[in-house]
Amino acid sequence: MKVKVNKEKCIGCGSCVAIAPEIFELNEEGKSVVKKQPSKEEESKVKEAIELCPTKAIEIEE
């Protein structure tokens, strides 16, 4: 799984960071960025973050 955040859609709510702080962090603009691609074990957390993102800003690339 390769994940990315659509900066146009992200509103910086921080939900994904709360769910998966290993993967997501808020940048200086208050937008979520991917700091590390998830390992196999981390994929379920990322899926949860995707489901709970209010603007559907988190996308799977492949």
**Tokens 């379920």 sit at which residue?**
44
Q: How far apart are the C-alpha atoms of 62 and 54, rounded to whole Å?
A: 22
Residue 7 Cβ vs ligand SF4, minimum distance, rounded to whole Å: 9
Q: Do 14 and 25 form a contact (C-beta atoms < 8 A)?
A: no
Least Cβ distance, residue 62 to ligand SF4 (angstroms):
19
What is the number of alpha carbons within 13 Å of residue 7 lying toward its C-beta? 9
Task: Using CB under 6 A, list all residues that contact ligand SF4.
Answer: 5, 10-16, 32, 53-55, 57-58
Name the residue nearer to ligand SF4 (CB basis): 8 or 41.
Answer: 8
Residue among 12 and 45 whose Cβ is closer to ligand SF4: 12
